[in-house]
Chain A
Amino acid sequence: MMNTLLEVSGVSVTFDGFRAINNLSIQFAEAELRAIIGPNGAGKTTFMDIVTGKTKPDEGRVIWGERNISLLGLSESDIAIQGIGRKFQKPTVFEAQTVRQNLAMALKNPRSPFAVLMHKRTQANAARIDAIAEQIGLLDSLTRIAGELSHGQKQWLEIGMLLAQEPRLLLIDEPAAGMTAEEREKTTDILREAARTRAVVVVEHDMEFVRRLGCKVTVLHEGAVLAEGSLDSVTANQKVIDVYLGREHA
């Protein structure tokens, strides 16, 4: 087992009396690919909100990296600087700006206003942008306005922006939603490639997509871990079958 990169333990969140996350504990190792599945409302997105600082939990700990930093006291931007990147369920790119500007903004560089004001384009940065654009299949679209891209391309651009941040942990919320079969295939390739050098956590509904990722799976249900293991083992798990079938027949 490799070193633990992120450790979430005993975390709970209540929205207006409703427990969205219930004593959740989950860990991720360095350079790991992990799928999180679970029915709608299981708390998958809320889990990401907690890790990235958008939602503050009522209790529990979120510990990051070898220096065991608690993420709970940090702002969203500081957590991002620590090395956690996040892709939202809805593709959120900067639609008024070009693909290149989107990637340039995400590229790992000093983030202070003064550094940004004095920022100069360099060959090195341009090469990094090209490499990422190539990886996400948008090399020919660098000068296009992001708002004109297709839904699938926007999803890739957002993944590309994540890669440009060079995070150690990527949290990706439902990347395949609204994608064609072909686009899904390409997306799994991009994610598998990315997970070779960093931890990638993917939330997804689509079982076929998860199967293609070929990684360890965590099943969330009512804000807690229901099962964990290979896809085959969790889908054979009676509790998981009950939750999924129970939902479908409800």
Chain B
Amino acid sequence: MRHSFIAQNPSVLWFLLALSLFTLGVTVLSEAAGVAVISTSFVKTLGKTLCLCLIAVAMDVVWGYCGILSLGHFAFFGLGGYAIGMWLMYARTEAIVLDALAQQPLPPTPQEVSDAIGNQIFGVVGSSEFPWIWAFADTLYLQLLMIVVIPGLLALVFGWLAFRSRVTGVYLSILTQAMTLALSLYLFQNDSGLRGNNGLSGLQNIPGYEDTSQAVISIVFLWASALALGAGYVFFAWVVSGKMGSVIKGIRDNEARVRFLGYRVESYKLFIFTITAIVSAIAGALYYPQAGIINPGEIAPIASIYLAVWVAIGGRGRLYGAVIGAAFVSLLSSWFTGGGAPAVPLGFYTIQWTDWWLVLLGLSFVAVTLFFPKGIGGLFDYLVRKP
């Protein structure tokens, strides 16, 4: 019944069309195409924005559709980033080390190679030992698997514990904040095995593609991000359009009633929580190679709160609303905080947007919550009136 799914959700086609046009447009205007209307660093910003849109879509499903206000989904995003970052850093350091050791008269033993890589990576935290969590870092496909396995398991265990004891509402939100805070604090420690507050860096250099320019790499990641966003969007649109959508919206609106219909509410919540966590992790794994660096600050509780703000401003309970919110607010945010916005002189005081942007964002959030509960996406209701 794929046919009826698309027929019932024309917005999915419109979205895919818009996404394709956007990606193509950016590509032909990029440095890689020789035009350079859009700088490579801005291509990366746009590619990262697509990843943020993807996690926002996941957030919308878990919050807007299922009613679970998770304030911890950026933890999964960050874990996805760390997982891919481990391979990127390992493989690149290995290449450098092998290069350096090749000058020596005697060929290096595997132990020497391993020690040298360990020294390079963990020297900053005063260690050269490989922690056990790096066990798979030398094998790309295993580490790719870790992108979904680790965050998926964390979500499964956390969700199972929380939902089973029927923690709901604001208590659940606080619990998810505690989870992301705990993870972030743990990663800040030097002996966490992930280089403490240094995090993982140099992630923009893709091992094996040292000779490929960043201009080209940025376009490849733009496409990969667009593909992931498109696939994630279609997948979630399918999930929420059918009977599953009915049940999770029912859980959002009246959880007890759904129970009396014979649905095990906890299983549904766990299912939605876990698949959205996995998609968030995939988004993170595409984001951080474009950002170049990941550190524990990325998993700070505030990041997940921003995510909720994007979705609220974009319009919750509609997937394109989440995309609009994430794109709009995150791009605006980098414009304001990056010094792009001109300061406003008031005579007695000058508004510097780098300081005042958060205030503006907070006020917008309050205004949207109070006056436009449907968010920016709600504007489409005026354009497309259903007969």
B-binding residues in A (CB < 8 A): 52, 54, 75-78, 80-81, 85-86, 88, 92, 94-97, 101, 104-106, 111-113, 116-117, 119-121, 161, 165
Tell me the dominant secondary structure on chain B's binding face. Answer: helix
Closest to A98 in B: B246
With A97-B250, A105-B247 in contact, do A77 and B263 touch (Cβ < 8 Å)?
yes
- B residues 299-329 with Cβ under 8 Å of A? none
In the complex formed, the residue of B with least CB distance to A114 is B271
Whether A96 and B244, one on each chain, are in contact in the complex, defined by CB atoms closer than 8 angstroms, is no
Q: Are B262 and A111 in contact (CB under 8 A)?
A: yes
Chain A residue at minimum C-beta to C-beta distance from B243: A119
Q: Whole-angstrom distance between the alpha carbons of A87 and B111 in the complex?
A: 70
Q: Is the CB of A85 within 8 A of B260?
A: yes
In the complex, the chain B residue whose C-beta lies closest to that of A125 is B243
Closest to A119 in B: B243
Surface stretch bound by A, among B21-29, B193-201, B251-259, B276-284: B251-259
Contact of A80 (CB < 8 Å), options: B246, B259, B271? B259
Q: How many Å from the CB of A15 to the closest CB on chain B?
A: 18
Does A80 contact B260, Cβ atoms closer than 8 Å?
yes
> What is the CA–CA distance of A96 and B243 in the complex, to the nearest angstrom?
14
Give complex CA distance A97, B246 in Å.
8
In the complex, which of the residues B1, B4, B254, B263 contacts A92, with contact meaning CB atoms closer than 8 Å? B254
**Contact yes or no, A77 B246, CB < 8 A:** no
Task: Give the shortest distance, in Å, between B331 (CB) and chain A (any CB).
Answer: 31
CB distance from B182 to the nearest CB of A (A): 28
CB A158 to nearest CB in B, in angstroms, measures: 9
- B359 in contact (CB, < 8 A): no
Is the pair B264, A96 in contact by a Cβ cutoff of 8 Å?
no
Partner of A117, one of B4, B244, B259, B265: B244
Q: Are B253 and A95 in contact (CB under 8 A)?
A: yes
Q: Within the complex, what minimum Cβ distance (angstroms) separates A13 from chain B?
A: 18
* Residue in contact with B259 in the complex, picked from A75, A96, A121, CB distance below 8 Å: A75
Q: Does B239 contact A (CB under 8 A)?
A: yes
Given A97-B249, A104-B246, CB of A54 within 8 Å of CB of B256: yes
Q: What distance in Å separates the Cβ of A68 from its nearest Cβ neighbour in chain B? A: 21
Q: Chain B contacts of A116 at CB under 8 A?
A: 243-244, 247, 263, 268
Contact B262 A80, beta carbon cutoff 8 Å? yes
Q: How far is the CA of A78 from the CA of B265 in the complex (A)?
A: 11
Q: Check if B259 sits within 8 Å of A77, measured CB to CB.
A: yes
Contact across chains for B243 and A77 when beta carbons are under 8 A apart: no
**Distance A112 CA – B244 CA, assembled complex (angstroms):** 10
- Evaluate contact between A101 and B246: CB separation under 8 angstroms: yes
Docked complex Cα distance between A104 and B258 (Å): 13
Shortest distance between the CB of B260 and any CB in chain A (Å): 5
CB neighbours (8 Å) of A52 from chain B are: 260
Give bound CA distance, A81 to B263, whole Å: 8
Task: Please indicate the chain A residues that have their CB under 8 angstroms from the CB of B256 in the complex.
Answer: 54, 76
How far does the Cβ of B202 sit from chain A's closest Cβ, in whole Å? 40
Which chain A residues lie closer than 8 Å to B249 at the CB level? 94, 96-97
For this complex, 24 residue pairs linking A to B, each with C-beta atoms less than 8 Å apart, are A52-B260, A75-B264, A76-B259, A77-B259, A77-B260, A77-B264, A78-B262, A78-B264, A85-B260, A86-B260, A88-B257, A92-B257, A94-B249, A94-B250, A94-B254, A95-B253, A96-B253, A101-B246, A104-B246, A105-B247, A105-B258, A111-B262, A113-B244, A165-B261
CB of B139 closer than 8 Å to a CB of A: no
Question: In the complex, which residue of chain A has the Cβ closest to the Cβ of B257?
Answer: A92
A105 touches which one: B4, B239, B243, B271 (CB < 8 A)?
A: B243
A106–B261 Cα distance when bound, in Å, is 6
**CA gap between A77 and B264 in the complex, in Å:** 6
Q: Which residues of B contact A113 (CB under 8 A)?
A: 244, 267-268, 271
Closest approach, in angstroms, between the C-beta of A71 and any C-beta of chain B?
13
Are A111 and B263 neighbours in the complex by a CB distance under 8 Å? yes
A165 touches B262 (CB 8 A): yes
> In the assembly, what is the distance between CA of A85 and CA of B246, in Å?
19
Minimum CB–CB distance from A185 to chain B (whole Å) comes to 27
Q: Smallest CB–CB gap between B246 and chain A, Å? A: 5
| Complex alpha-carbon distance, A52 and B259, angstroms | 10
Return B134 CB to nearest CB of chain A, in Å: 35
A121 x B250 contact (CB < 8 A): no
Chain B residues, Cβ within 8 Å of A54 = 256
Is B242 interfacial (CB-CB < 8 Å)?
A: yes
Distance A130 CA – B136 CA, assembled complex (angstroms): 56
Contact, CB under 8 Å: B265 / A77: yes
Nearest-neighbor residue (CB-CB) of B252 within chain A? A96
Given contacts A77-B263, A94-B253, contact A121 B1 (CB under 8 A): yes
Residues on A with C-beta less than 8 A from B262 are 77-78, 80-81, 111, 165
